């Protein structure tokens, strides 16, 4: 049996694909493969008859239960609103209209599934969180024209949020009157088995919010990713997924006062970064975390040089960063491990 995404855009379809996987796994599917062709993703399962709707219902119930459990109940003219720090509320949406609106939409979809009457009409506006090219806030230099948001049906809307909620890391940063949400869509570059997809869950934190004080590195999308991966993943997940090639499509949602925009859109080789962290953690787990925290909090220029050296095969940048690192007393074992990793990897 084969499932395919609708082909809206690479990022939105990626979230829909991950949502499909989550729902199928919840239905007991143990053998599936995920792969990309063009803008679409395909999931192939051995079973000939699978009810994906039951898995969707189960996933939505878990998501909405978390939202209600940790949410704040706010009175308004429209009634009581529930706003929480989960990603489909205030966690990963910079537009406050969505903070209560998206959970309510998912609640309606959940009830429609229970009644067996899921709407097929395209009524749901896709927020920037799920598709950065969907609205009017993408800068002109990305070639995206302003206009009304893309709209999709209940089925794909729910799948996209399920996929985002369970498989997509993000970081929400508050800085005085500004909010930045770095989103990291993990894109597989080859066919994945179910265990490799499920391992991605270890890279996701359900709640991931930071208040900028002295840690200015959080504003930089790549440095924030390095911090997140260092503190979020397990060695077990790294051992599984570093055997396959991934990239990360990163983009930042920015809100300053009432002005919204999409910033810093780009694609990076996640496999190299993951392999780098796995190698260091397998040698010295504690000092690897301490090393990353130290470099990020001590000098943004040096940490940027280091991560760019890892991502772009720049040996000179690696050596330059390491020379600077000695000033901040990085353990010699970590420095030696970095050099050995670079020689072995390349």
Specify the pLDDT at position 324.
77
Cα angle at 45 between 29 and 124, to 5 degrees?
Answer: 85
Place of tokens 């070639």: 143
% of the chain with per-residue pLDDT over 90: 42
Specify the pLDDT at position 203.
84
Which tens digit of pLDDT belongs to each residue from 179-231? 999 999 999 999 999 988 998 888 887 667 777 766 788 888 888 888 888 88
| 346 confidence band (pLDDT: 50, 70, 90) | low
Mean pLDDT score across all residues of the chain: 86
DSSP H or E run through 255:
strand 246-256
Q: Is the dihedral of CA 258, 264, 267, 271 positive or negative?
A: negative
Report the C-alpha gap between 110 and 183 in whole angstroms: 26
| 242 confidence band (pLDDT: 50, 70, 90) | low
Q: For the chain, how are helix, strand and coil distributed in percent, rounded to 5?
A: 50, 20, 30
CB 240 within 8 A of CB 199: yes
Report the C-alpha gap between 17 and 183 in whole angstroms: 17
DSSP character for 8?
S
State the burial class of residue 200 (Cβ atoms within 10 Å of its Cβ: 0-12, 13-18, 19+). buried
CB 225 within 8 A of CB 270: no
Query: Helix, strand, or coil here: 135?
Result: coil
Q: Mean pLDDT, to the nearest integer, of 228-244? A: 72
Q: Is the dihedral of CA 30, 204, 235, 300 positive or negative?
A: positive
Q: Is residue 145 scored above 60 in pLDDT? A: no
The residues with which 175 forms a beta bridge, in sequence order, are 178
CB 297 within 8 A of CB 215: yes
Neighbours of 323 (CB within 10 A): 11
Cα 213 off chain centre by: 24
Specify the pLDDT at position 337.
82
Specify the pLDDT at position 236.
64
Global model pTM greater than 0.85: yes
Query: Helix, strand, or coil here: 170?
Result: strand
Specify the pLDDT at position 148.
57
Q: Mean pLDDT, to the nearest integer, of 97-114? A: 95
Range with top average pLDDT, 148-162, 262-276, 279-293, 315-329: 148-162
């Amino acid at each position: 049996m084969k499932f395919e995404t609708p082909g809206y855009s690479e990022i939105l379809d990626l979230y829909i694909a991950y949502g499909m996987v989550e729902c199928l796994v919840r239905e007991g599917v143990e053998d599936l493969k995920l792969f990309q062709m063009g803008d679409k993703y395909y999931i192939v399962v051995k079973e000939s008859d699978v009810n994906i709707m039951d898995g969707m219902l189960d996933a939505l119930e878990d998501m909405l239960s978390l939202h209600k459990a940790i949410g704040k109940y706010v009175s308004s003219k429209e009634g009581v609103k529930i706003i929480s720090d989960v990603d489909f509320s205030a966690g990963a949406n910079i537009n406050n209209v969505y903070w209560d609106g998206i959970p309510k939409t998912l609640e309606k979809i959940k009830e429609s599934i229970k009644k067996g009457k899921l709407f097929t009409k395209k009524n749901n506006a896709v927020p920037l969180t799920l598709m950065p090219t969907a609205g009017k806030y993408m800068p002109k230099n990305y070639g995206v024209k302003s206009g009304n948001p893309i709209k999709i049906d209940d089925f794909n809307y729910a799948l996209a949020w399920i996929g985002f909620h369970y498989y997509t890391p993000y970081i929400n940063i508050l800085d005085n009157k500004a909010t930045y949400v770095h989103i990291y869509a993990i894109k597989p570059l080859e066919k994945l088995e179910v265990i490799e997809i499920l391992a991605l869950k270890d890279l996701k934190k359900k709640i991931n919010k930071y208040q900028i004080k002295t840690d200015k590195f959080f504003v930089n999308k790549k440095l924030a990713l390095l911090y997140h991966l260092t503190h979020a993943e397990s060695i077990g997940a790294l051992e599984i997924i570093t055997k396959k090639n991934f990239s990360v499509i990163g983009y930042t949602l920015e809100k300053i006062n009432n002005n919204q925009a999409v910033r810093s859109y780009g694609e990076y080789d996640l496999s190299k970064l993951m392999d780098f962290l796995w190698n260091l953690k397998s040698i010295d787990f504690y000092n690897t975390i301490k090393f990353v925290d130290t470099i990020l909090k001590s000098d943004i220029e040096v940490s940027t040089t280091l991560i760019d050296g890892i991502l772009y095969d720049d040996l000179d940048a690696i050596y330059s960063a390491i020379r600077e690192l000695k000033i901040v007393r990085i353990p010699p074992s970590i420095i030696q491990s970095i050099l050995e990793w670079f020689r072995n990897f390349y």
